[in-house]
């Protein structure tokens, strides 16, 4: 039986009335503090995918796993949770960035992109003369995209990336998230 099904069954027995919003089941009253003296409503949420619960009422603040909640009601429950997703490990690019070469400046100029723009986006050159698009996050170089400073010849790749790094949006560091 799925986590969702088990929790819904349980809620039908013990948590009525409740609402379901997104992947949370929210009883009208927290089954543990019952909303306290002022009868606060909808402070408790039971996550239908993770099988964990929390009450946001300050003086209650209970949290735990569904199994513990079931135990409070004298039931035994065991949820089969999917193994936590493997977090992918990314490396940081380790390269010596050099100023754009003449070939790079010429290439961009032919595409109507000025040296000022190259400068603004910190476009650089790799030791082999490839164009380097550096991607920064919080001032740290986290990702690099390369391309040759010319139209790809034959089977040449259009662009490639530093292996094992985390792709992010170009120019992200220049975006201000506080001001639209």
User: What residue ranges bind Zn ion (CB under 5 A)?
Assistant: 30, 32-33, 55, 57, 60
Q: Which is nearer to Zn ion, 15 or 60 (CB)?
A: 60
141 beta partners? 136
Q: Which is nearer to Zn ion, 41 or 150 (CB)?
A: 41
Q: 127: exposed, middle or buried (C-beta count within 10 Å: 0-12, 13-18, 19+)?
A: exposed
Q: Which is nearer to Zn ion, 7 or 30 (CB)?
A: 30
Torsion of CA 132, 174, 94, 152, to 10 degrees: -20
CB of 51 to Zn ion, least distance (A): 18
Q: Which is nearer to Zn ion, 17 or 180 (CB)?
A: 17
CB of 69 to Zn ion, least distance (A): 11
Instruction: Tell me the longest C-alpha to C-alpha distance in the chain.
Output: 76
**Measured distance CA(150)–CA(24) in Å, rounded:** 53
CB of 22 to Zn ion, least distance (A): 20
CB of 30 to Zn ion, least distance (A): 3
């Amino acid at each position: 039986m799925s986590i969702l099904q088990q929790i819904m069954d349980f809620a039908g027995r013990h948590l009525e009335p409740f609402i379901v919003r997104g992947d949370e089941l929210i009883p009208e009253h927290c089954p543990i503090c019952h909303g306290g003296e002022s009868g606060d409503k909808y402070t408790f949420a039971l996550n239908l995918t993770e099988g964990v619960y929390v009450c946001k009422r300050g003086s209650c603040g209970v949290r735990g796993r569904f199994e513990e909640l079931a135990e409070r009601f004298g039931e035994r429950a065991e949820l089969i949770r999917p193994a936590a997703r493997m977090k992918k490990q990314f490396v940081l690019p380790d390269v010596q960035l050099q100023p754009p070469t003449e070939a790079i400046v010429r290439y961009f100029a032919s595409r109507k992109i000025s040296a000022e723009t190259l400068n603004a986006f910190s476009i650089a050159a790799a030791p082999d003369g490839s164009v380097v698009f550096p991607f920064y996050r919080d001032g740290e170089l986290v990702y690099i995209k390369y391309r040759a400073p010319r139209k790809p010849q034959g089977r040449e790749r259009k662009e490639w990336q530093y292996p094992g790094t985390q792709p992010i949006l170009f120019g992200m560091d220049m975006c201000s998230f506080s001001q639209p």
